[in-house]
Amino acid sequence: MTQSEWIKDSDTARFGDDVVNASLEVPVIVDFWAPWCGPCKDLGPILEKNVDAANGAVKLVKINVDENQQLAAQLRVQSIPAVFAFKGGQPVDGFMGALPESQVNTFIENLGVAIGPTPLEELFSTAVIAMEQGDLVTAESVYRKALDLEPGNVEALAGLIICRLKADDTQTAQELFDSLTPEYQNDPAMAGAKAALTLAGDAGKSDDVEAARAAVAANPDDLQAKFDLANVLLGVGQNDEGAEILLAIIKADRSWEDDAARKKLLTLFDALGPTHETTVSARKALSSILFS
């Protein structure tokens, strides 16, 4: 991997210029590592990726402890990887051991550094926009690029499943989900796709919206007919109307069929996400009914 202009190898002789003096301008992170250190190999790329994402707002200096033992001793490095942050010419923070990327992000952000979007985050943003515009071909292509970048990424797999569902290819979506291990299937990032699969499967009992409407019109008090109509509507993406019917069922009989309408609403919320307009409005209406 070619190092960027913000990442460099250094040593005892250059430490003053590369770290202490440089930290007068921007924070400098010092990574003490060694070629034989397994955790160092895990942490190093994470540090480099996030320093690059900061676009010059922070620098990374890498010190091989085998070649700079006196410097490591001066900074009381007892085990590696050992990471120090310098700011204003002084050490201000640090940690030992390999941390997950989320904690590395927090460590860097605590230095007052804004980390830009990672390549994966940029891909996901592009895919979401494409999906919102109905461009499923582009969205699916971008999710596959994300999987090339990080094989097994759960968010990308979930995105592919949702793309297939939106393309009315429920069978392929279900097969993809079924091919995943239970760990992947139950990952929080898969929750929306899993819920969407559930809705699609239930809607598969009937794809005739007009027939379902006629059944309700023939017997307006039949809660099962209303529930079937809601399922069909949710299956074809008419989420607002489907949610309204489920809310009407709950208002008429909160415990109908072992709380089926409320459970269906919660599945819809998971499929759409917490910030979706339908989720926000329906959740508010649900609270009003339950706590009235």
Q: How far apart are CA 62 and CA 159, in angstroms?
A: 37
Q: How many CB atoms lie within 10 A of CB 16?
A: 12
DSSP-assigned states of every residue in 116-184: PPPHHHHHHHHHHHHHHTT-HHHHHHHHHHHHHHSTT-HHHHHHHHHHHHHTT-HHHHHHHHHTS-HHH
Q: How many CB atoms lie within 10 A of CB 204?
A: 12
Q: How far apart are CA 137 and CA 163, in angstroms?
A: 8
Residues 15, 70 contacting (CB under 8 angstroms) = no
Closest CA to 191 of 273, 122, 109: 273
Q: What's the distance, CA 287 to chain centroid? A: 28
Q: Which residue bears the tokens 């461009």?
A: 135
The residues carrying an active-site annotation are 37, 40
Q: How far apart are CA 39 and CA 80, in angstroms?
A: 8
